Chains A and B, each alone.
Chain A
């Protein structure tokens, strides 16, 4: 059991007239090794939620446990927690500050107090892992393309060797090519290194292809928490809160409604293709 959220409430601007609940009564368990999609539209509380996971935000009430220990205990080592639970913010390339990519990636491990050799080794490994070509290592990160900058920023978090990696809209603002590359990168981090991944997104289609579990947030509450196909079965409710299931889900639902006996739980193009062909090739 990696992370447990127990009755988390978070109230913005508490004690003022503007107080409003950003999160109410969140109970979640994030076991080791899962690949989770966290979905919700802007203002649903998903960004606030992930900041609870590494102690950047303290809940108004309720507890967050990491490997059984309450992270908001005064004697809990938060710095260590932040290495274990890596958080990649939205547009992470906006935090790059060093004169070259390599130095920037060293920032995280250096803050952990590791010796120089270990810091550099980790930075090197992280940059290799995100697939940045060697010739860019000692270039200014500001000269790179948008997608490459983002890789460097993600490497900066990976170099801390997290056990859990949370990414807030890692594909925002990228073109389809950049988006696929980043999503593939995240998948390989999960598969090869066994990192637990929480992928925050507002795109169901992005998420459907990759994750094994989807958590849908709405108005500060968990609305659904299930396998992707079970979540998308609620496509009507999702629409009501301004989210949409992948287009293929709709196609399958409409085919079924037209009396064609397809099962409706396909969430990817591949699944839909197989299912449709099964019915049409009889």
Chain B
């Protein structure tokens, strides 16, 4: 096992048995089908896919919340199925979930952030230090005495992120952290995630269906029907607009506009990611 790999899966397959109301077996659903992927330390990874593509199920394997039916998952060189590593894995690979309300345990912001370290048995004085630095890292320090119920969705998600940072993870897996937020909240959460990746070097795995959010990723995996359907840099992925549309993923407006203009005969390259790029390209060919 290469030490540079944060997470790696080897022919991971996950199946679950569907039962009807009487508990009889109705069939078997394969949520993840033979996925092998590697995530290097310090990377910002995005996993795209629509609902039911298996991306959330995959994420739950990285934190040892689910275990493979076949194949294996390694987190920092530890096999998730090895019980003796369970708590190390959960400490190293933190997890943020979709619903901001349902993952905050504390009734005061700072107490929620302290929840993880408390579980890990960190001494009291150090918990306070960790809480302070974590809340500052996500820009929520001034809200430390507030009740989570008085925060906006985006603020709640940032508190959850602080709660994970306080456990000193090497990697944070975010399972659609922005799906229930408004545009401002979404921006704040993504900004916080990028800052953690840049400044602290924490590996980020962002699971989302918003394509705008993956523009800055080092690598993108596109999931469909339990498979990894596409992988590459954002530019490589965004160059395949037709394929993305076929997978019913929402392509950002600029990328789509660039694609349409290219189809209509303008000399614009594929894989335009930002509006600055598009405007520059258009300016180039206008002169």
Contact = CB atoms under 8 A, between A and B. Distances in A.
Query: Is B one of A's binding partners?
Result: yes
A175 B50 contact: yes
Given A173-B179, A175-B209, A243-B183, 9 more contacts: A174-B51, A175-B50, A178-B50, A247-B257, A248-B253, A254-B275, A255-B283, A279-B286, A280-B286
Contact of A251 (B52, B152, B254): B254
Interface in B37-82: 50-52
Interface stretch (A113-121, A188-196, A270-278): A270-278
A251 B281 CA distance: 11
A42 B183 CA distance: 10
Contact of B257 (A145, A179, A273): A273
A78 interface: no
A173 B50 CA distance: 11
Interface in A124-176: 145-147, 172-176
Given A251-B254, A260-B286, A178 B182 contact: no
A180 B152 CA distance: 27
Nearest to B279: A254
B261 interface: yes
A247 B275 contact: yes
Contacts of B250: 176, 179-180
A177 to B, nearest CB: 4
A277 B253 CA distance: 17
B179 A272 contact: no
B119 interface: no
A273 B261 contact: yes
Contacts of B285: 280
A242 B153 CA distance: 15
B120 interface: no
A277 B286 contact: no
Contacts of A179: 250
A174 B248 CA distance: 12
Given A175-B50, A276-B261, A41 B182 contact: yes
Interface string A242-281: 1110111011001100101000000001001100110111
Interface of A: 41-43, 145-147, 172-180, 202-203, 205, 242-244, 246-248, 250-251, 254-255, 258, 260, 269, 272-273, 276-277, 279-281
B279 A177 contact: no
Contacts of A177: 50-51, 248-249
Interface in B87-129: 98
Contacts of B140: none
A255 B98 CA distance: 38
Contacts of A254: 275, 279
A269 B253 contact: yes
Contact of B51 (A41, A172, A175, A255): A175
Given A42-B152, A145-B52, A277-B261, A255 B253 contact: no
Given A251-B278, A255-B282, A176 B257 contact: no
A202 B279 contact: no
A223 B182 CA distance: 19
A62 B278 CA distance: 49
B24 interface: no
A176 B266 contact: no
Contacts of B266: 276-277, 280
A174 to B, nearest CB: 8
Given A178-B51, A203-B183, A247-B275, A260 B283 contact: yes
A260 B52 CA distance: 44
Contacts of B51: 145-147, 174-175, 177-178
A198 to B, nearest CB: 18
Contacts of B283: 255, 258, 260
B180 A172 contact: yes
B50 A41 contact: no
Contacts of A273: 257, 260-261, 264
A277 B183 CA distance: 31
B212 to A, nearest CB: 9
18 contacts: A41-B184, A145-B51, A173-B180, A175-B50, A176-B248, A178-B51, A179-B250, A180-B248, A244-B183, A247-B253, A247-B254, A250-B275, A255-B279, A255-B282, A258-B279, A273-B261, A279-B286, A280-B266
Interface string B255-278: 011001100111000000001001
Contact of A42 (B50, B182, B257): B182
Contacts of B153: 42
A71 to B, nearest CB: 30
Contacts of A147: 51
B169 interface: no
Contacts of A251: 254, 257, 275, 278-279
Interface string B170-188: 0000000001101111000
A154 B275 CA distance: 36
